[in-house]
Structure 1
Amino acid sequence: DALLIEVQDTKHNTQGQAVIPILSIAENFNDKTRWWPIYHEEHKCIGKIQLSIACSITNEEGNGIKGSPVVETLAYDLLLEAAMRAQQFHSRNLCLHGSWKWLLCEFADYYEVSQCYTNLRYLSYIMNVATPTKDCLELVLDLLLPVIKARSDKRLNRQEKSILLECETQVESLLANVFENYKSLDKLSPTGMSDSLTTIPDAAPPALAPAVQLYCLLHDILAQDGQTILQKYLQRAAQKRCRRHMLETDEFMPTNSESVLVDPVAITTAYLKMKNLCINISSEI
Protein backbone atom coordinates (compact mmCIF):
# COMPACT_ATOMS: atom_id res chain seq x y z
CA ASP A 1 0.00 0.00 0.00
CA ALA A 2 1.17 3.53 -0.73
CA LEU A 3 0.04 7.13 -0.27
CA LEU A 4 -0.17 8.92 -3.62
CA ILE A 5 0.14 12.73 -3.64
CA GLU A 6 -0.45 14.57 -6.92
CA VAL A 7 0.63 18.14 -7.70
CA GLN A 8 -1.78 19.89 -10.07
CA ASP A 9 -1.86 23.27 -11.75
CA THR A 10 -4.83 25.66 -11.78
CA LYS A 11 -6.40 23.68 -14.62
CA HIS A 12 -6.15 20.44 -12.63
CA ASN A 13 -3.44 19.02 -14.88
CA THR A 14 -1.07 16.71 -13.02
CA GLN A 15 2.45 18.14 -12.98
CA GLY A 16 4.05 15.56 -10.73
CA GLN A 17 3.41 13.05 -8.01
CA ALA A 18 4.97 11.59 -4.88
CA VAL A 19 4.48 7.94 -3.97
CA ILE A 20 4.98 7.30 -0.26
CA PRO A 21 4.98 3.65 0.89
CA ILE A 22 2.88 3.20 4.01
CA LEU A 23 5.40 0.68 5.27
CA SER A 24 8.19 3.28 5.29
CA ILE A 25 6.01 5.58 7.40
CA ALA A 26 5.26 2.81 9.87
CA GLU A 27 8.90 1.76 10.16
CA ASN A 28 10.01 5.33 10.97
CA PHE A 29 7.03 6.55 12.92
CA ASN A 30 9.16 8.65 15.30
CA ASP A 31 10.29 10.74 12.34
CA LYS A 32 7.00 12.63 12.01
CA THR A 33 8.13 15.31 9.55
CA ARG A 34 9.91 14.16 6.41
CA TRP A 35 10.61 15.37 2.88
CA TRP A 36 9.54 13.25 -0.09
CA PRO A 37 10.61 13.69 -3.74
CA ILE A 38 8.08 14.67 -6.41
CA TYR A 39 8.57 13.05 -9.80
CA HIS A 40 7.32 14.06 -13.21
CA GLU A 41 5.90 11.41 -15.53
CA GLU A 42 9.37 10.97 -17.07
CA HIS A 43 10.58 9.89 -13.61
CA LYS A 44 12.60 13.07 -13.17
CA CYS A 45 12.67 14.65 -9.71
CA ILE A 46 11.17 18.14 -9.98
CA GLY A 47 10.88 19.03 -6.31
CA LYS A 48 10.06 17.86 -2.81
CA ILE A 49 7.07 17.91 -0.50
CA GLN A 50 7.09 17.96 3.29
CA LEU A 51 4.75 15.50 4.98
CA SER A 52 3.87 15.78 8.65
CA ILE A 53 2.32 12.75 10.35
CA ALA A 54 0.06 13.13 13.36
CA CYS A 55 -1.66 10.46 15.42
CA SER A 56 -4.61 11.11 17.71
CA ILE A 57 -6.61 8.84 20.00
CA THR A 58 -10.17 9.58 21.06
CA ASN A 59 -11.45 8.80 24.52
CA GLU A 60 -13.38 5.83 23.18
CA GLU A 61 -10.17 4.43 21.70
CA GLY A 62 -8.02 5.28 24.69
CA ASN A 63 -8.43 2.02 26.56
CA GLY A 64 -5.08 0.90 25.20
CA ILE A 65 -2.24 2.48 23.29
CA LYS A 66 -2.70 1.11 19.80
CA GLY A 67 -1.22 2.29 16.55
CA SER A 68 -2.44 1.85 13.01
CA PRO A 69 -3.20 -1.64 11.64
CA VAL A 70 0.09 -1.53 9.73
CA VAL A 71 2.05 -0.87 12.91
CA GLU A 72 0.26 -3.64 14.76
CA THR A 73 0.85 -6.22 12.04
CA LEU A 74 4.51 -5.24 11.88
CA ALA A 75 4.78 -5.72 15.63
CA TYR A 76 3.04 -9.08 15.30
CA ASP A 77 5.53 -10.11 12.60
CA LEU A 78 8.44 -9.33 14.91
CA LEU A 79 6.86 -11.30 17.73
CA LEU A 80 6.21 -14.25 15.41
CA GLU A 81 9.81 -14.26 14.22
CA ALA A 82 11.02 -14.21 17.82
CA ALA A 83 8.75 -17.14 18.67
CA MET A 84 10.04 -19.17 15.73
CA ARG A 85 13.66 -18.51 16.64
CA ALA A 86 13.03 -19.43 20.27
CA GLN A 87 11.34 -22.71 19.33
CA GLN A 88 13.88 -23.56 16.60
CA PHE A 89 11.38 -23.47 13.76
CA HIS A 90 12.41 -25.63 10.77
CA SER A 91 10.91 -27.99 8.19
CA ARG A 92 10.34 -30.77 10.72
CA ASN A 93 9.41 -28.51 13.63
CA LEU A 94 6.65 -26.29 12.28
CA CYS A 95 4.20 -26.03 15.19
CA LEU A 96 4.41 -23.26 17.76
CA HIS A 97 3.42 -24.22 21.28
CA GLY A 98 3.57 -23.32 24.93
CA SER A 99 4.02 -19.78 26.21
CA TRP A 100 5.04 -18.40 22.82
CA LYS A 101 1.83 -19.58 21.20
CA TRP A 102 -0.14 -18.12 24.10
CA LEU A 103 1.67 -14.79 23.78
CA LEU A 104 0.98 -14.61 20.04
CA CYS A 105 -2.73 -15.30 20.60
CA GLU A 106 -2.98 -12.70 23.37
CA PHE A 107 -1.14 -10.09 21.30
CA ALA A 108 -3.36 -10.67 18.26
CA ASP A 109 -6.49 -10.54 20.40
CA TYR A 110 -5.55 -7.35 22.26
CA TYR A 111 -4.34 -5.44 19.20
CA GLU A 112 -7.12 -6.82 17.00
CA VAL A 113 -4.84 -8.46 14.47
CA SER A 114 -7.21 -10.60 12.41
CA GLN A 115 -7.07 -14.38 12.40
CA CYS A 116 -6.68 -14.29 8.63
CA TYR A 117 -3.55 -12.18 8.94
CA THR A 118 -2.02 -14.32 11.69
CA ASN A 119 -2.75 -17.50 9.71
CA LEU A 120 -1.35 -16.08 6.49
CA ARG A 121 1.80 -14.67 8.05
CA TYR A 122 2.48 -17.97 9.80
CA LEU A 123 1.73 -19.83 6.57
CA SER A 124 4.16 -17.65 4.62
CA TYR A 125 7.00 -18.79 6.88
CA ILE A 126 5.90 -22.42 6.67
CA MET A 127 5.88 -22.38 2.88
CA ASN A 128 9.52 -21.28 2.84
CA VAL A 129 10.52 -24.61 4.43
CA ALA A 130 7.55 -26.80 3.43
CA THR A 131 8.06 -30.49 2.68
CA PRO A 132 5.65 -33.02 1.11
CA THR A 133 4.86 -34.63 4.45
CA LYS A 134 1.60 -35.36 6.26
CA ASP A 135 2.28 -33.02 9.21
CA CYS A 136 3.21 -30.11 6.98
CA LEU A 137 0.26 -30.52 4.63
CA GLU A 138 -2.22 -30.87 7.50
CA LEU A 139 -0.92 -27.68 9.09
CA VAL A 140 -1.15 -25.81 5.79
CA LEU A 141 -4.72 -27.08 5.37
CA ASP A 142 -5.72 -25.96 8.88
CA LEU A 143 -4.30 -22.48 8.32
CA LEU A 144 -5.83 -22.02 4.88
CA LEU A 145 -9.37 -23.20 5.63
CA PRO A 146 -10.59 -20.09 7.51
CA VAL A 147 -8.74 -17.79 5.11
CA ILE A 148 -10.37 -19.29 2.02
CA LYS A 149 -13.76 -19.00 3.72
CA ALA A 150 -13.04 -15.35 4.55
CA ARG A 151 -12.11 -14.71 0.92
CA SER A 152 -15.40 -16.25 -0.21
CA ASP A 153 -17.19 -13.93 2.22
CA LYS A 154 -15.11 -10.97 0.94
CA ARG A 155 -13.65 -10.26 4.37
CA LEU A 156 -9.97 -10.03 3.40
CA ASN A 157 -8.21 -6.67 3.20
CA ARG A 158 -5.68 -5.79 0.51
CA GLN A 159 -2.69 -6.84 2.58
CA GLU A 160 -4.21 -10.24 3.35
CA LYS A 161 -5.17 -10.78 -0.29
CA SER A 162 -1.61 -10.06 -1.35
CA ILE A 163 -0.12 -12.53 1.14
CA LEU A 164 -2.72 -15.16 0.21
CA LEU A 165 -1.90 -14.84 -3.48
CA GLU A 166 1.77 -15.49 -2.81
CA CYS A 167 1.02 -18.39 -0.47
CA GLU A 168 -1.35 -19.99 -2.98
CA THR A 169 1.41 -20.04 -5.58
CA GLN A 170 3.73 -21.78 -3.13
CA VAL A 171 1.04 -24.24 -2.06
CA GLU A 172 0.36 -25.15 -5.69
CA SER A 173 4.06 -25.84 -6.14
CA LEU A 174 4.06 -28.05 -3.04
CA LEU A 175 1.02 -29.98 -4.28
CA ALA A 176 2.65 -30.47 -7.66
CA ASN A 177 5.68 -31.91 -5.87
CA VAL A 178 3.46 -34.30 -3.91
CA PHE A 179 1.41 -35.60 -6.84
CA GLU A 180 4.28 -35.78 -9.31
CA ASN A 181 6.33 -37.85 -6.86
CA TYR A 182 3.60 -39.65 -4.94
CA LYS A 183 5.33 -43.04 -5.23
CA SER A 184 8.55 -41.59 -3.83
CA LEU A 185 7.05 -39.97 -0.73
CA ASP A 186 8.90 -41.00 2.41
CA LYS A 187 7.88 -39.65 5.81
CA LEU A 188 11.24 -40.66 7.31
CA SER A 189 13.29 -38.68 4.80
CA PRO A 190 14.31 -35.11 5.77
CA THR A 191 12.99 -33.87 2.43
CA GLY A 192 9.84 -35.99 2.58
CA MET A 193 10.88 -37.98 -0.50
CA SER A 194 13.12 -40.95 -1.15
CA ASP A 195 15.97 -40.59 -3.63
CA SER A 196 15.98 -44.28 -4.54
CA LEU A 197 13.47 -46.56 -6.25
CA THR A 198 11.95 -48.28 -3.26
CA THR A 199 9.40 -51.08 -3.21
CA ILE A 200 5.90 -49.76 -3.75
CA PRO A 201 4.01 -49.93 -0.42
CA ASP A 202 0.64 -51.61 -0.17
CA ALA A 203 -0.99 -48.51 1.35
CA ALA A 204 -1.02 -44.95 0.04
CA PRO A 205 1.55 -42.56 1.57
CA PRO A 206 0.12 -40.64 4.58
CA ALA A 207 0.81 -37.31 2.86
CA LEU A 208 -1.62 -38.04 0.03
CA ALA A 209 -4.83 -37.64 2.08
CA PRO A 210 -4.18 -34.04 3.26
CA ALA A 211 -2.75 -33.23 -0.18
CA VAL A 212 -6.03 -34.24 -1.83
CA GLN A 213 -8.00 -32.23 0.74
CA LEU A 214 -5.80 -29.21 0.14
CA TYR A 215 -6.16 -29.57 -3.61
CA CYS A 216 -9.96 -29.73 -3.29
CA LEU A 217 -9.87 -26.59 -1.14
CA LEU A 218 -8.10 -24.64 -3.89
CA HIS A 219 -9.76 -26.29 -6.90
CA ASP A 220 -13.21 -27.49 -7.85
CA ILE A 221 -12.44 -31.16 -8.40
CA LEU A 222 -15.71 -31.61 -10.30
CA ALA A 223 -14.78 -28.90 -12.79
CA GLN A 224 -12.87 -29.68 -15.98
CA ASP A 225 -9.96 -27.39 -15.09
CA GLY A 226 -9.48 -28.97 -11.67
CA GLN A 227 -9.46 -32.45 -13.15
CA THR A 228 -7.09 -31.48 -15.97
CA ILE A 229 -4.48 -30.02 -13.62
CA LEU A 230 -4.54 -33.12 -11.42
CA GLN A 231 -4.37 -35.36 -14.48
CA LYS A 232 -1.23 -33.56 -15.67
CA TYR A 233 0.39 -34.00 -12.26
CA LEU A 234 -0.22 -37.76 -12.38
CA GLN A 235 1.00 -38.01 -15.97
CA ARG A 236 4.26 -36.34 -14.98
CA ALA A 237 4.50 -38.74 -12.05
CA ALA A 238 4.28 -41.72 -14.42
CA GLN A 239 6.86 -40.18 -16.76
CA LYS A 240 9.31 -39.51 -13.93
CA ARG A 241 8.89 -42.99 -12.49
CA CYS A 242 9.34 -44.65 -15.88
CA ARG A 243 12.42 -42.58 -16.61
CA ARG A 244 14.03 -43.58 -13.32
CA HIS A 245 13.42 -47.25 -14.08
CA MET A 246 14.96 -46.94 -17.54
CA LEU A 247 18.17 -45.24 -16.44
CA GLU A 248 20.02 -48.55 -16.03
CA THR A 249 19.20 -49.64 -19.57
CA ASP A 250 20.32 -46.43 -21.29
CA GLU A 251 23.81 -47.82 -21.93
CA PHE A 252 22.36 -50.59 -24.05
CA MET A 253 20.29 -48.37 -26.30
CA PRO A 254 21.52 -48.37 -29.95
CA THR A 255 21.77 -44.58 -29.98
CA ASN A 256 24.45 -44.76 -27.30
CA SER A 257 26.60 -47.58 -28.64
CA GLU A 258 26.24 -49.89 -31.65
CA SER A 259 29.09 -52.22 -30.72
CA VAL A 260 28.38 -52.81 -27.05
CA LEU A 261 26.14 -55.83 -27.74
CA VAL A 262 28.83 -57.74 -29.66
CA ASP A 263 30.24 -59.06 -26.39
CA PRO A 264 28.27 -62.14 -25.16
CA VAL A 265 28.60 -60.96 -21.55
CA ALA A 266 27.14 -57.59 -22.51
CA ILE A 267 24.27 -59.32 -24.28
CA THR A 268 23.48 -61.38 -21.17
CA THR A 269 23.70 -58.32 -18.92
CA ALA A 270 21.48 -56.32 -21.24
CA TYR A 271 18.91 -59.11 -21.34
CA LEU A 272 18.79 -59.37 -17.54
CA LYS A 273 18.44 -55.62 -17.14
CA MET A 274 15.69 -55.42 -19.72
CA LYS A 275 13.93 -58.32 -18.00
CA ASN A 276 14.15 -56.54 -14.64
CA LEU A 277 12.89 -53.36 -16.29
CA CYS A 278 9.81 -55.13 -17.61
CA ILE A 279 9.15 -56.69 -14.19
CA ASN A 280 9.56 -53.36 -12.41
CA ILE A 281 7.26 -51.51 -14.79
CA SER A 282 4.63 -54.24 -14.56
CA SER A 283 4.76 -54.02 -10.76
CA GLU A 284 4.20 -50.26 -11.02
CA ILE A 285 0.98 -50.89 -12.88
Structure 2
Amino acid sequence: MDAAVGVLRTSVLYKAADTFASASTLGISGDPADLAKVLDLGVKDGALAGLAGNDTVAVDTLLADVVQASVGDRVELLLGDGTTVRPRVVATYDRGLGLGQVLLPRAAVTGHVPAAYDSQMLVRDTRSADRAAVASALQRLDAPGVTVTDRAGYGAQVDKDLELSAWANGVMAMVLGGFAAVAAANTLVMTVLDRRREVALLRLAGTTRRQVLGMMRWEALLVGTAGIGIGAAIAWATLTPIARGLTGGAPYVPPGVAAAIAAGVLLLGLAATGLPARVLLRTRPMEAGAARE
Protein backbone atom coordinates (compact mmCIF):
# COMPACT_ATOMS: atom_id res chain seq x y z
CA MET A 1 0.00 0.00 0.00
CA ASP A 2 1.53 3.29 -1.12
CA ALA A 3 -0.69 5.60 0.98
CA ALA A 4 -3.65 5.39 3.35
CA VAL A 5 -5.41 8.42 4.80
CA GLY A 6 -8.48 8.44 7.02
CA VAL A 7 -11.12 11.14 6.56
CA LEU A 8 -13.55 12.31 9.25
CA ARG A 9 -16.21 14.53 7.70
CA THR A 10 -17.56 17.34 9.86
CA SER A 11 -18.02 21.12 9.68
CA VAL A 12 -16.75 24.24 11.38
CA LEU A 13 -17.97 27.82 11.67
CA TYR A 14 -15.95 30.84 10.63
CA LYS A 15 -16.68 34.52 11.00
CA ALA A 16 -17.63 36.35 7.81
CA ALA A 17 -18.35 40.07 8.25
CA ASP A 18 -20.68 40.27 11.27
CA THR A 19 -22.03 36.72 11.16
CA PHE A 20 -20.88 33.11 11.22
CA ALA A 21 -20.92 30.76 8.23
CA SER A 22 -20.43 27.01 7.95
CA ALA A 23 -17.59 25.32 6.08
CA SER A 24 -17.30 21.63 5.18
CA THR A 25 -14.31 20.15 7.00
CA LEU A 26 -12.16 17.02 6.76
CA GLY A 27 -10.34 15.66 9.79
CA ILE A 28 -7.25 13.94 8.39
CA SER A 29 -5.56 10.96 10.06
CA GLY A 30 -2.35 9.32 8.95
CA ASP A 31 0.67 10.97 7.36
CA PRO A 32 -0.42 14.36 5.94
CA ALA A 33 2.34 14.05 3.35
CA ASP A 34 0.34 11.16 1.82
CA LEU A 35 -2.76 13.34 1.39
CA ALA A 36 -1.63 14.58 -2.02
CA LYS A 37 -1.39 10.96 -3.21
CA VAL A 38 -5.09 10.25 -2.58
CA LEU A 39 -6.67 13.70 -3.07
CA ASP A 40 -5.80 16.16 -5.83
CA LEU A 41 -6.66 19.39 -4.00
CA GLY A 42 -4.67 21.73 -6.23
CA VAL A 43 -2.37 23.17 -3.56
CA LYS A 44 -1.68 26.83 -4.27
CA ASP A 45 0.52 27.95 -1.38
CA GLY A 46 2.29 26.10 1.42
CA ALA A 47 2.38 22.32 1.82
CA LEU A 48 -0.10 19.77 3.16
CA ALA A 49 2.77 17.95 4.86
CA GLY A 50 2.68 20.66 7.51
CA LEU A 51 -0.79 19.59 8.60
CA ALA A 52 0.24 18.00 11.90
CA GLY A 53 -0.50 18.45 15.59
CA ASN A 54 -3.56 20.27 16.86
CA ASP A 55 -2.58 23.78 15.83
CA THR A 56 -2.52 23.70 12.02
CA VAL A 57 -5.11 24.03 9.26
CA ALA A 58 -5.32 24.09 5.47
CA VAL A 59 -8.09 26.12 3.83
CA ASP A 60 -9.64 26.57 0.41
CA THR A 61 -8.50 29.72 -1.41
CA LEU A 62 -12.06 31.11 -1.58
CA LEU A 63 -12.45 30.73 2.17
CA ALA A 64 -8.97 32.18 2.70
CA ASP A 65 -10.05 35.27 0.76
CA VAL A 66 -13.19 35.63 2.89
CA VAL A 67 -11.33 35.46 6.20
CA GLN A 68 -8.36 37.35 4.71
CA ALA A 69 -5.80 34.74 5.72
CA SER A 70 -2.69 33.40 4.01
CA VAL A 71 -0.03 30.83 4.85
CA GLY A 72 1.40 31.60 8.29
CA ASP A 73 -1.69 33.48 9.53
CA ARG A 74 -4.08 32.23 12.17
CA VAL A 75 -7.82 31.85 11.58
CA GLU A 76 -10.57 31.68 14.17
CA LEU A 77 -12.82 28.60 13.85
CA LEU A 78 -15.64 27.13 15.93
CA LEU A 79 -15.62 23.33 16.09
CA GLY A 80 -18.68 21.08 16.29
CA ASP A 81 -19.22 21.53 20.02
CA GLY A 82 -18.66 25.29 19.95
CA THR A 83 -15.01 25.21 20.98
CA THR A 84 -13.06 28.15 19.55
CA VAL A 85 -9.64 27.42 18.05
CA ARG A 86 -7.10 29.58 16.18
CA PRO A 87 -4.90 27.22 14.14
CA ARG A 88 -2.11 28.39 11.86
CA VAL A 89 -2.63 28.13 8.09
CA VAL A 90 -0.03 25.83 6.53
CA ALA A 91 -1.51 25.55 3.01
CA THR A 92 -4.20 26.89 0.72
CA TYR A 93 -5.74 24.91 -2.16
CA ASP A 94 -8.15 25.49 -5.06
CA ARG A 95 -10.41 22.41 -5.12
CA GLY A 96 -12.22 22.64 -1.81
CA LEU A 97 -15.80 23.09 -3.00
CA GLY A 98 -16.47 19.45 -3.77
CA LEU A 99 -14.10 17.96 -1.18
CA GLY A 100 -13.72 20.08 1.93
CA GLN A 101 -13.18 23.78 2.52
CA VAL A 102 -11.13 23.17 5.67
CA LEU A 103 -8.57 20.46 6.47
CA LEU A 104 -7.69 19.82 10.11
CA PRO A 105 -5.66 17.08 11.79
CA ARG A 106 -8.03 14.40 13.05
CA ALA A 107 -6.72 14.86 16.60
CA ALA A 108 -7.94 18.46 16.52
CA VAL A 109 -11.59 17.46 15.90
CA THR A 110 -11.88 14.02 17.53
CA GLY A 111 -13.10 15.31 20.89
CA HIS A 112 -15.50 17.83 19.38
CA VAL A 113 -17.80 15.66 17.22
CA PRO A 114 -20.61 13.26 18.21
CA ALA A 115 -18.99 10.21 16.54
CA ALA A 116 -15.20 10.29 16.16
CA TYR A 117 -15.01 7.62 13.46
CA ASP A 118 -13.53 8.03 10.03
CA SER A 119 -16.17 8.59 7.36
CA GLN A 120 -13.84 7.28 4.64
CA MET A 121 -10.46 5.64 4.22
CA LEU A 122 -8.64 6.73 1.08
CA VAL A 123 -5.92 4.35 -0.12
CA ARG A 124 -3.50 4.13 -3.03
CA ASP A 125 -1.72 0.99 -4.21
CA THR A 126 1.94 0.80 -5.07
CA ARG A 127 2.73 0.34 -8.76
CA SER A 128 3.84 -3.27 -8.22
CA ALA A 129 0.89 -4.24 -6.02
CA ASP A 130 -1.23 -7.27 -6.86
CA ARG A 131 -4.58 -5.57 -7.58
CA ALA A 132 -6.56 -8.77 -7.13
CA ALA A 133 -4.99 -9.44 -3.73
CA VAL A 134 -5.58 -5.86 -2.60
CA ALA A 135 -9.21 -5.98 -3.74
CA SER A 136 -9.74 -9.28 -1.94
CA ALA A 137 -8.23 -7.90 1.27
CA LEU A 138 -10.36 -4.78 1.13
CA GLN A 139 -13.54 -6.73 0.44
CA ARG A 140 -13.11 -8.45 3.80
CA LEU A 141 -13.73 -5.07 5.38
CA ASP A 142 -17.12 -4.82 3.67
CA ALA A 143 -19.82 -4.91 6.33
CA PRO A 144 -23.19 -3.25 7.13
CA GLY A 145 -22.57 0.48 7.17
CA VAL A 146 -19.16 0.08 5.52
CA THR A 147 -18.76 0.38 1.75
CA VAL A 148 -15.58 -0.65 -0.02
CA THR A 149 -15.16 0.71 -3.54
CA ASP A 150 -12.51 1.86 -5.98
CA ARG A 151 -12.07 5.19 -7.71
CA ALA A 152 -14.49 4.28 -10.50
CA GLY A 153 -17.14 3.14 -8.03
CA TYR A 154 -16.76 6.25 -5.92
CA GLY A 155 -16.97 8.45 -9.01
CA ALA A 156 -20.10 6.62 -10.19
CA GLN A 157 -21.76 7.14 -6.80
CA VAL A 158 -20.90 10.83 -6.81
CA ASP A 159 -22.24 11.18 -10.36
CA LYS A 160 -25.45 9.42 -9.32
CA ASP A 161 -25.92 11.77 -6.36
CA LEU A 162 -25.28 14.79 -8.56
CA GLU A 163 -27.72 13.49 -11.17
CA LEU A 164 -30.42 13.03 -8.53
CA SER A 165 -29.79 16.53 -7.20
CA ALA A 166 -29.91 17.98 -10.71
CA TRP A 167 -33.20 16.15 -11.38
CA ALA A 168 -34.75 17.56 -8.20
CA ASN A 169 -33.56 21.06 -9.06
CA GLY A 170 -34.90 20.64 -12.59
CA VAL A 171 -38.35 19.61 -11.36
CA MET A 172 -38.45 22.59 -9.01
CA ALA A 173 -37.40 24.94 -11.80
CA MET A 174 -40.10 23.49 -14.11
CA VAL A 175 -42.79 23.99 -11.47
CA LEU A 176 -41.75 27.59 -10.82
CA GLY A 177 -41.39 28.21 -14.55
CA GLY A 178 -44.86 26.75 -15.13
CA PHE A 179 -46.44 29.14 -12.64
CA ALA A 180 -44.60 32.07 -14.23
CA ALA A 181 -45.70 30.96 -17.71
CA VAL A 182 -49.37 30.70 -16.67
CA ALA A 183 -49.24 34.15 -15.08
CA ALA A 184 -47.58 35.69 -18.15
CA ALA A 185 -49.97 34.00 -20.59
CA ASN A 186 -53.00 35.10 -18.56
CA THR A 187 -51.76 38.70 -18.56
CA LEU A 188 -51.15 38.67 -22.33
CA VAL A 189 -54.55 37.14 -23.10
CA MET A 190 -56.41 39.67 -20.96
CA THR A 191 -54.40 42.51 -22.51
CA VAL A 192 -55.30 41.43 -26.06
CA LEU A 193 -58.99 40.88 -25.26
CA ASP A 194 -59.10 44.36 -23.72
CA ARG A 195 -58.15 45.81 -27.12
CA ARG A 196 -61.51 45.01 -28.81
CA ARG A 197 -62.18 48.65 -29.60
CA GLU A 198 -58.72 49.20 -31.07
CA VAL A 199 -59.02 46.12 -33.29
CA ALA A 200 -62.52 47.16 -34.38
CA LEU A 201 -61.24 50.63 -35.32
CA LEU A 202 -58.41 49.13 -37.34
CA ARG A 203 -60.85 46.88 -39.17
CA LEU A 204 -63.22 49.79 -39.91
CA ALA A 205 -60.26 51.76 -41.26
CA GLY A 206 -59.66 49.00 -43.80
CA THR A 207 -56.94 46.97 -42.10
CA THR A 208 -57.07 43.32 -43.13
CA ARG A 209 -57.12 40.36 -40.77
CA ARG A 210 -53.65 39.43 -41.95
CA GLN A 211 -52.28 42.89 -41.14
CA VAL A 212 -53.83 42.88 -37.65
CA LEU A 213 -52.40 39.45 -36.89
CA GLY A 214 -49.02 40.56 -38.21
CA MET A 215 -49.08 43.60 -35.95
CA MET A 216 -49.96 41.43 -32.95
CA ARG A 217 -47.22 38.97 -33.88
CA TRP A 218 -44.55 41.66 -34.03
CA GLU A 219 -45.74 43.11 -30.74
CA ALA A 220 -45.47 39.66 -29.12
CA LEU A 221 -41.94 39.20 -30.48
CA LEU A 222 -40.94 42.65 -29.22
CA VAL A 223 -42.38 42.00 -25.75
CA GLY A 224 -40.82 38.51 -25.62
CA THR A 225 -37.38 39.77 -26.69
CA ALA A 226 -37.50 42.59 -24.14
CA GLY A 227 -38.55 40.12 -21.44
CA ILE A 228 -35.66 37.78 -22.30
CA GLY A 229 -33.16 40.63 -22.23
CA ILE A 230 -34.40 42.14 -18.96
CA GLY A 231 -34.74 38.73 -17.32
CA ALA A 232 -31.24 37.71 -18.37
CA ALA A 233 -29.80 40.98 -17.05
CA ILE A 234 -31.54 40.57 -13.68
CA ALA A 235 -30.50 36.92 -13.39
CA TRP A 236 -26.90 37.77 -14.30
CA ALA A 237 -26.72 40.63 -11.79
CA THR A 238 -28.21 38.41 -9.07
CA LEU A 239 -26.29 35.18 -9.71
CA THR A 240 -22.85 36.60 -10.51
CA PRO A 241 -21.99 37.60 -6.91
CA ILE A 242 -23.25 34.24 -5.62
CA ALA A 243 -21.31 32.23 -8.21
CA ARG A 244 -18.13 34.21 -7.64
CA GLY A 245 -18.47 33.80 -3.89
CA LEU A 246 -18.94 30.01 -4.15
CA THR A 247 -16.72 29.08 -7.07
CA GLY A 248 -14.70 32.14 -7.99
CA GLY A 249 -16.17 32.07 -11.52
CA ALA A 250 -19.13 33.48 -13.42
CA PRO A 251 -22.50 31.68 -13.70
CA TYR A 252 -22.81 29.36 -16.70
CA VAL A 253 -25.89 28.32 -18.66
CA PRO A 254 -25.47 25.69 -21.42
CA PRO A 255 -26.22 27.24 -24.83
CA GLY A 256 -28.85 24.58 -25.54
CA VAL A 257 -30.71 25.37 -22.33
CA ALA A 258 -30.53 29.11 -22.98
CA ALA A 259 -31.85 28.64 -26.53
CA ALA A 260 -34.70 26.43 -25.28
CA ILE A 261 -35.72 29.00 -22.67
CA ALA A 262 -35.65 31.83 -25.21
CA ALA A 263 -37.67 29.80 -27.74
CA GLY A 264 -40.21 28.86 -25.06
CA VAL A 265 -40.67 32.51 -24.05
CA LEU A 266 -41.19 33.63 -27.65
CA LEU A 267 -43.60 30.78 -28.44
CA LEU A 268 -45.58 31.51 -25.28
CA GLY A 269 -45.84 35.18 -26.25
CA LEU A 270 -46.93 34.35 -29.80
CA ALA A 271 -49.54 31.83 -28.64
CA ALA A 272 -50.94 33.98 -25.81
CA THR A 273 -51.25 36.91 -28.24
CA GLY A 274 -52.22 35.23 -31.48
CA LEU A 275 -55.06 33.01 -30.23
CA PRO A 276 -57.13 35.75 -28.50
CA ALA A 277 -56.43 38.04 -31.49
CA ARG A 278 -58.03 35.49 -33.80
CA VAL A 279 -61.04 35.34 -31.51
CA LEU A 280 -61.42 39.13 -31.74
CA LEU A 281 -61.14 39.06 -35.52
CA ARG A 282 -64.06 36.62 -35.79
CA THR A 283 -66.34 39.40 -34.54
CA ARG A 284 -67.67 41.89 -37.05
CA PRO A 285 -66.08 45.33 -36.71
CA MET A 286 -69.38 47.11 -35.93
CA GLU A 287 -70.30 44.49 -33.28
CA ALA A 288 -66.87 44.65 -31.68
CA GLY A 289 -67.06 48.46 -31.50
CA ALA A 290 -70.58 48.39 -30.09
CA ALA A 291 -69.59 45.86 -27.43
CA ARG A 292 -67.50 48.55 -25.73
CA GLU A 293 -70.22 51.25 -25.84
Which TM bucket (shorter chain)?
under 0.3
Provide TM-score, normalisation by structure 2: 0.24
Q: Which has the higher strand share?
A: 2
The structure with the largest alpha-carbon Rg is 2
Point out which structure has higher relative CO (alpha carbons under 8 A, 6+ apart). 2
